A and B are shown apart, each in its own frame.
Chain A
Amino acid sequence: MPKYAKSYSATATNAARKQNGLAALRHNHLDEALTNFQKLTAQDFPNLPNALAEVYFRKALNTTDDFQQLEHLQAALRQTPKDGRLYYHQGRCYQRLGNRKSAESAYATAQELGYTRPGVGLLRALLTLLKKPNTTLEKLAELTPEERTQLTPLSLLLRKQPQSLLQAPEASWFAGYKTAFKAEAITTFWQGLAHYANHDLATAANILNGIAPLALPAAMDAIRALYLGQTQLALGEPAQAQTTWQSALQRATKAHLPHRLIERLQEALIQTRLPNLRALLAAGQWAEALRAADAALTEAPKDFRLLNTKLQALDQLAQVALAQGQWTAALPHLEAMRDLIENALVPGTHIPIARNLAIVYEALERWADAADAWHWVLEMLPTREAKRKKAAAAAPEEAPPAAPFGLPLAEYRQWVRRRLLLNYQRAGDPGQAITLYKQAIKAEPDDLELRFELANALLANDQELAARNELNRILERNPQHHTARIKLAEVHMQRNDWVQAEALIDQVLATAPGNLEAQQTKVEMLRERGHTMLDWGAPEEAKRMFTQAVALAPQDMELHISLGDVELKLDHPEAAQSQFETVLGFNKVAGYIAVFESWVWHKDETKAREVLARAETAGLTSPAFYAQAAAACYDMTHDADAMPFASFFGLKPRKKKTQTEIDHWSQWGAALLKQAETASPNPTEALQAIVAQLAQRHPQLALTYIERLVALKPNDPQVLLELALLQAMNNQRRPAKDTLKKALKLARASGNTLLLEELEKLEEALDMPQFGIPNFFLNPGADDFEDDFFQ
C-alpha cells in the first residue's frame, strides 16, 4: 500500500485526506486521489475544484475510449469551466469521433479562453476542409506557412487538381513534414493518390504498391492500402485487393488505429464479400453461404449486413431440416442463430427464431429449454403499457399492431404464457411460471386474464388455495367473469365440494343460461356425481343426477346409457328400454355396441340379440363390431372384478359365475368371432380387427388370432410387434423377445422410423422387471372412432 494511504481510514481527518489526495495525484494514482478529494468540501480545501478537475483531466488522457474521455473532461469542466486546455482536448475527442461541429466549437472556446498550442491550427484546418473541401489554403488563416505547405497535396486533391502531383514531387513539400518518417515516402503517397484521382489506375497501383507499409505513419498507410486495393479491384484483381485489405486490417488492428480507420478497411472488404454472399443465398447454397459469412465475419465481426446473411443461411438450413421433420438436425442451426443474436446487435424482429427454437425443443422433449425459449418470445413481444402508449400517441383510428401469426397481441401473449406454463410443468418447475405471472400482475394488477392464467398455473402446481384466492380476486373485480366462476366451480368439484360447485355454476347459468361452458361443466358435474352415487350404492340419487344431466345434454349418448343401466338396476326395464332406444336412435356404431354390452351385462340375451339384429339391418356391422360384441360376451366368462367396464358403470362386483353360464357366453362369443371373420372378404382385415378388440381384455384369446395373422403375414413387422406384445402379456417373454428381434430387423430394413420407435419402446419395456404394456397401438383409433366415416 502506498505510504500516503497508510493513515487513510473512515476516521481519517479531512486534513489527512487532503494530503493523501495530493500525494496520490502527484504519483498519478488517480482513483485514490479522487476517493480522498470526494470526501472534502471547499471549506476543507479551497483549491478543491482545481484538484478535482486535474484528477478528471488526467483520467481522460489515460483512457483510450473516446466516450469515456469525454465524460471525464465534462466532469473536469464542471469543476473549472474556464480551463481552455480542457476544451482543446475535448475538441480532439470530438474530432476523433467525427463530430465536426462540436470539435470546432470546443477549439474556438479554447482559443477564446487563451489556450494555444502548436498544431491546433492544423486540426482546425482539417475540420474546415472536411466541411468545405474546396477551401483554398490561403483562406485557412490559422495555419502557419509550414503547415500550409504540408497541406498542399491534400488541398490539390480535394479541389480535384491532381495534375501537379502526377510528376516528381515538389522539393518544398519535404520541408513541411516534420516527422520521423521519410518525406519521400509521404510525397510518393500523394503522387499515387493523384494518379488514382486522375483515373490512371495502373500507375496508381504501381506507385502505391511500391511504398513499404512501415515507411508511412500507420493511419496514412491504411489509406494507402485502401486505395491500392481499390485500384486492384478496378483492374480486375479482386483476390489481390482482398489480400491487400486483409493485411492492412491486421496492421491497423495491431497498431490500435482509430475505429473509423478499421471500419473503413472492414467496409472495403465487406463490399467485395456481400455480392458473393447474396448470390450464394439466392442460389440456395446455404452451407456455402454460411461458410462465406463466417469467413467474412472474422474480418468485421459486428457488421450487421454480414450477421444478417449468416442468420439467413442458418435459418434456411434449419427450415430445410424442419420441413423433413429432422428436429435434431435443425437444432444446432437455431441455437447458432440464438447465440448470434445474443452476442451481437442485429436489428429486426427475432421472435420467429425464438419460436422455432421453442417448437424444436418441445419436439425433442427438452422442456426446460423450451420454456426458456417461450420466455424469450414473451420478452420480445411489445409490453402492454408500451402498446397502449403507442396507440394513444398514434392517430385514434390506427389499429394496434398485430402480433405475429395473425392473432391479436394480447391473445398471442396469453397463448405463449400458456405454452410456457405447460413446459415448466413438464420440466418439473411450474413454480417458475408462477413467478413470471406474479411479476406480470404486479405491473398490471387489473389485467384479469393474466390473473386467470396465474390461477391456472397455481392449480397446475397444486396450490389450490392460492388458486381459489386468485379466482375470487377476479370475481371481486368483475362478478360477471363467468370463466373464473366456472373454474372456481371445477376446483370445488375436485374437492368433492358439490354444493359449492353447483351454486357457482347455477350463478353463471342464472345470468347467462346459454353459456356453453357452464352447461358442459354442469353436465360433467352431474355425470360425476351420478357415478359417485352409484359407487355409494344410491341408484335413486344417481338416477336424479343423470336425468338432470340428460335434460341439459340430450345428445350425450353416454348419459342415456348410464341412465338406462341405472333403470335396470332399479328394475325399471321399460324405462331402461326407452333410454336405450334413444341411444339406438343416434344410429351410431358405438351406440349399438354400448346397448348390446348393457343387455349382455344384465344377462338379457334376448334383448342383446335384438340389438345385434337391428345393427345388422342398419348395415352397421363389421369385423370390428362383431369382435367387440364377442369381447363383451367373453367378459361375462370372468368375474366382475376382472371386467374393465364394471367400474365405468359403477356396478358392484357380482357373485361368481357357474360353468354353465361361462360355457354359454363363451359359445356365443365364439360364434360372434366367427361372424367377425366372415364379415370381411379380407381375412387379414378380419383377424386384425379381432386382435384389436380382444387384446386388452382377453389377451390369451387374442394370441390365437394374432398367430393366425402372422401365418398370413410373416414378414410384416407391425404384425410381429403385436404378436410380441401378446406373447409378453401371456407371460411368454422368451418367444416375445425372439419375435421382437425379427420385427426389429424387418422394421430397420423397411426404414419405418415410427414403427422402429414403437419396437424399441417395447424392447425396453420387456427388459423391465415390472412389464407395463403400451397398448394404444394395438387399438389404433378405437377410442373415439369416427362413426360418420362409415356413412
Chain B
Amino acid sequence: MKPPEPLQPLGFNPYTVLGLTPAATEAEIKQAYFTLVRAHPPETDPMGFKRIRAAYDRLRTPEKRRDTDLLLPQPWQPYAPSEVPLVDTSWERDLITAMEAFTELYRRDYREDYREVEA
C-alpha cells in the first residue's frame, strides 16, 4: 500500500519568503525564485536556499498554489450589527416600566387563585 500522502502543513507564508503578495503572477513567482536562489545558492547559504526552495515548491504548480492559498490565515470579518439596540430605550417605555412596580405584573404568589379539585 502506498504510504499516506504527506500532510504538508503550511507553517510559513511562501509569498513573504519570496517577497511577493498573493496576487503575484506565475511569472513573478518564478522570477523572484530565480533571483533569490542566485543570491542564496545552496553552497554558501544552504538554509536560506532551503527556505526559498520550500517557498517556491508551494507555489510552483496551480494545484500547489491553490492548496497554499487555502492554507494562508485570513482575518475574520466581523458581522456589522445594527446600531439599533435590541431593548426598547424609549422614554415612554421607561416611565411605564417605573409605574409597573405598583401593579401586580411581577407578583408571584397567587394562591388565592388556586382552586380545589373535587374527586
Residue in contact with B94 in the complex, picked from A223, A330, A350, A360, CB distance below 8 Å: A223
A158 contacts the other chain (Cβ, under 8 Å)?
Answer: yes
Q: Are B41 and A304 in contact (CB under 8 A)?
A: no
Q: Are B102 and A179 in contact (CB under 8 A)?
A: yes
Residue in contact with A684 in the complex, picked from B5, B44, B72, B95, CB distance below 8 Å: B44
Chain B: residues with Cβ within 8 Å of the partner, total of 68
* B93 CB, nearest partner CB in chain A, Å: 7
Residues in A whose Cβ lies below 8 Å from that of B10:
359, 362-363
Q: Are B78 and A348 in contact (CB under 8 A)?
A: yes
Q: Taking A130-B92, A352-B76 as contacts, is the C-beta distance between A122 and B87 under 8 angstroms?
A: no
Q: Are B119 and A130 in contact (CB under 8 A)?
A: no
Q: Are A781 and B42 in contact (CB under 8 A)?
A: yes
* B13 CB, nearest partner CB in chain A, Å: 7
Interface string of B35-74 (1 = CB under 8 A from A): 0010001111111011101000000000000110111111
Residues in B whose Cβ lies below 8 Å from that of A352:
74-77
B100 contacts the other chain (Cβ, under 8 Å)?
Answer: yes
Q: Are A337 and B108 in contact (CB under 8 A)?
A: no
Q: Are A692 and B117 in contact (CB under 8 A)?
A: no
Residues in A whose Cβ lies below 8 Å from that of B87:
260, 263-264, 266-267
Residue in contact with A305 in the complex, picked from B7, B81, B93, B98, CB distance below 8 Å: B81
Residues in A whose Cβ lies below 8 Å from that of B97:
219, 222-223, 260-261, 264
Q: What is the number of contacts between chain A and chain B, taking CB atoms within 8 Å?
A: 226
* Interface SS, A side: helix
Q: Could you tell me the distance between the alpha carbons of A363 and B8 in the complex, rounded to whole angstroms?
A: 9
Q: Are A258 and B106 in contact (CB under 8 A)?
A: yes
Q: Are B117 and A54 in contact (CB under 8 A)?
A: yes
Residue in contact with A219 in the complex, picked from B73, B101, B104, CB distance below 8 Å: B101
A484 contacts the other chain (Cβ, under 8 Å)?
Answer: no
Kindly identify, within residues 195 to 242 of chain A, every residue whose CB is under 8 Å from any CB belonging to chain B. Answer: 197, 216-220, 222-224, 226-227
A483 contacts the other chain (Cβ, under 8 Å)?
Answer: no
Residue in contact with A264 in the complex, picked from B1, B94, B106, CB distance below 8 Å: B94
Which of B42, B50, B99 is most buried by chain A, counting CB atoms within 10 A of its CB?
Answer: B99
Q: Are A96 and B81 in contact (CB under 8 A)?
A: no
B25 contacts the other chain (Cβ, under 8 Å)?
Answer: no
A648 contacts the other chain (Cβ, under 8 Å)?
Answer: no
Q: Are B77 and A422 in contact (CB under 8 A)?
A: no
Residue in contact with B117 in the complex, picked from A51, A197, A308, CB distance below 8 Å: A51
A104 contacts the other chain (Cβ, under 8 Å)?
Answer: no
Kindly identify, within residues 413 to 455 of chain A, every residue whose CB is under 8 Å from any CB belonging to chain B. Answer: 415, 422-423, 425-426
* A702 CB, nearest partner CB in chain B, Å: 14
Q: Are A223 and B98 in contact (CB under 8 A)?
A: yes
A780 contacts the other chain (Cβ, under 8 Å)?
Answer: yes
Kindly identify, within residues 748 to 770 of chain A, every residue whose CB is under 8 Å from any CB belonging to chain B. Answer: 752, 754-755, 758
Residue in contact with A311 in the complex, picked from B9, B46, B78, B103, CB distance below 8 Å: B78
In the complex, identify which listed stretch (A458-466, A513-521, A542-550) lies at the interface while the others stay far away. Answer: A458-466
Interface string of A586-601 (1 = CB under 8 A from B): 0000000000000000
Interface string of B75-97 (1 = CB under 8 A from A): 11111010001111101111111
Nearest CB in chain B to that of A494: its residue: B1
Q: Are A781 and B73 in contact (CB under 8 A)?
A: no
A470 contacts the other chain (Cβ, under 8 Å)?
Answer: no
Residues in B whose Cβ lies below 8 Å from that of A96:
105-106
* A282 CB, nearest partner CB in chain B, Å: 13
Kindly identify, within residues 322 to 371 of chain A, every residue whose CB is under 8 Å from any CB belonging to chain B. Answer: 322-323, 325, 327, 330, 337, 346-350, 352-353, 355-356, 359-360, 362-363, 365, 367, 370
A315 contacts the other chain (Cβ, under 8 Å)?
Answer: yes
A4 contacts the other chain (Cβ, under 8 Å)?
Answer: no
Q: Are A755 and B47 in contact (CB under 8 A)?
A: yes
Q: Taking A122-B102, A352-B75 as contacts, is the C-beta distance between A267 and B13 under 8 angstroms?
A: no
Q: Are A227 and B94 in contact (CB under 8 A)?
A: yes
Q: Taking A223-B94, A260-B87, A352-B74 as contacts, is the C-beta distance between A781 and B110 under 8 angstroms?
A: no
A89 contacts the other chain (Cβ, under 8 Å)?
Answer: yes
Interface string of A494-529 (1 = CB under 8 A from B): 100000000000000000000000000000000000
Q: Could you tell me the distance between the alpha carbons of A460 and B85 in the complex, rounded to whole angstroms?
A: 53
Residue in contact with A692 in the complex, picked from B42, B47, B51, B69, CB distance below 8 Å: B42
Q: Are B43 and A685 in contact (CB under 8 A)?
A: yes
Residues in A whose Cβ lies below 8 Å from that of B118:
47
Residues in B whose Cβ lies below 8 Å from that of A25:
117
Q: Are B117 and A423 in contact (CB under 8 A)?
A: no
Q: Could you tell me the distance between the alpha carbons of A316 and B103 in the complex, rounded to whole angstroms?
A: 50
Nearest CB in chain B to that of A157: its residue: B95
Q: Are B94 and A689 in contact (CB under 8 A)?
A: no
Residue in contact with B74 in the complex, picked from A58, A350, A356, A490, CB distance below 8 Å: A356
Nearest CB in chain A to that of B83: its residue: A305
Residue in contact with A365 in the complex, picked from B9, B37, B53, B116, CB distance below 8 Å: B9
Interface string of A701-722 (1 = CB under 8 A from B): 0000000000000000010000
Kindly identify, within residues 1 to 34 of chain B, every residue whose CB is under 8 Å from any CB belonging to chain A. Answer: 1-2, 4-5, 7, 9-13, 34
Residues in A whose Cβ lies below 8 Å from that of B46:
688, 718, 777, 780
Nearest CB in chain B to that of A51: its residue: B117
Residue in contact with A348 in the complex, picked from B41, B71, B77, B98, CB distance below 8 Å: B77
Residue in contact with B73 in the complex, picked from A18, A47, A319, A689, CB distance below 8 Å: A319
Q: Could you tell me the distance between the alpha carbons of A95 and B104 in the complex, rounded to whole angstroms?
A: 11
* A685 CB, nearest partner CB in chain B, Å: 4
Q: Are B7 and A426 in contact (CB under 8 A)?
A: yes
* A153 CB, nearest partner CB in chain B, Å: 9
Residues in B whose Cβ lies below 8 Å from that of A362:
7, 9-11, 71
Q: Are A154 and B95 in contact (CB under 8 A)?
A: yes
Q: Could you tell me the distance between the alpha carbons of A193 and B51 in the complex, rounded to whole angstroms?
A: 71
Q: Are A267 and B85 in contact (CB under 8 A)?
A: yes
Q: Could you tell me the distance between the alpha carbons of A318 and B74 in the complex, rounded to whole angstroms?
A: 10
- Residue contacts A-B, CB under 8 angstroms, 28 given: A47-B118, A54-B115, A54-B117, A64-B108, A85-B113, A119-B104, A126-B99, A126-B103, A130-B96, A151-B99, A263-B87, A316-B75, A347-B79, A348-B78, A356-B74, A359-B71, A359-B72, A405-B70, A407-B70, A415-B67, A422-B5, A426-B4, A462-B1, A758-B47, A777-B50, A781-B42, A781-B50, A789-B37
Apart from A51-B117, A777-B47, A781-B50, 19 more pairs, CB < 8 Å: A22-B119, A50-B117, A95-B105, A126-B103, A133-B92, A154-B95, A223-B98, A224-B98, A266-B87, A267-B85, A311-B78, A319-B75, A330-B73, A370-B9, A407-B70, A494-B1, A624-B43, A688-B43, A781-B49
Q: What is the interface of chain A, defined by CB distance below 8 A to chain B?
A: 18-19, 22, 25-26, 47, 50-51, 54, 57-58, 61, 64, 85, 89, 92, 95-96, 98, 119, 122-123, 126, 129-130, 133, 150-151, 154, 157-158, 177, 179, 189, 193, 197, 216-220, 222-224, 226-227, 258, 260-261, 263-264, 266-267, 270-271, 304-305, 308, 311-312, 315-316, 318-319, 322-323, 325, 327, 330, 337, 346-350, 352-353, 355-356, 359-360, 362-363, 365, 367, 370, 404-405, 407, 412, 415, 422-423, 425-426, 459-460, 462, 464, 490, 494, 623-624, 682, 684-686, 688-689, 692, 718, 752, 754-755, 758, 777, 780-782, 789
Q: What is the interface of chain B, defined by CB distance below 8 A to chain A?
A: 1-2, 4-5, 7, 9-13, 34, 37, 41-47, 49-51, 53, 66-67, 69-79, 81, 85-89, 91-106, 108-110, 113-119
